[in-house]
Amino acid sequence: MQKLLLECIYPIGVISLLCPTFAGVSLGMSKASIGICNSASIKSDIILTIIPSAFIGVGVLYSVLLFFTTAPQGTPTEFSIPMKWLAAYIVTGMGMFWGSISLGDISAVATVTAAQQKRFKPSFFLLLVFGELIGLFGLIVGFILSVSNRVWA
């Protein structure tokens, strides 16, 4: 039974990292698209309103980066190290989920305001950078927890 549970930790970790990331990016993009469509009805030049889509999608890159750089090595024999690795993937996945949703919320409002006001653009990008910090902190915590816990044997 212990061997079976140990072998399930890796797939659960991958699911815990990637599924929340993709769900958050999807929800964030859907929220941002509402703002982009509303801003397009105000102003036909929507180049600056499409930029938040790139910020929202960065969470996928962060998760894939963590996935490929911290893949476990060896077969697990006890629970302590794989569970720390699993915690890293859960923290990062949830950080990407909430970070992408927050960027979607920021983008939905900021794109409309950017279309209405001429001088809003620097603040617009500053809001996106602060929204991106949630995912970045999740990635940093994930690296701290998982890099030292890669060797399972």
Residue 152 maps to a domain: no
The per-residue pLDDT for 153 is: 62
The confidence band for 97, taking pLDDT boundaries of 50, 70 and 90, is: very high
| Nearest C-alpha neighbor of 90 from the set 146, 149, 33, 32 | 146
Measure the CA–CA gap between 63 and 4, rounded to whole angstroms.
Answer: 26
- State the residue range of the domain holding 47: 2-147
User: How many domains is the chain partitioned into structurally?
Assistant: 1
Using DSSP's 3-state secondary structure scheme, residue 73 falls into strand
Q: Is residue 88 situated within a structural domain?
A: yes
Instruction: Give the pLDDT confidence of 51-86 residue by residue, as tens digits.
Output: 777 889 899 999 999 999 988 888 888 888 888 889
Residue 14 is encoded by which pair of tokens?
């991958």
Task: Tell me the pTM.
Answer: 0.87
Average confidence (pLDDT) over 24-42: 91
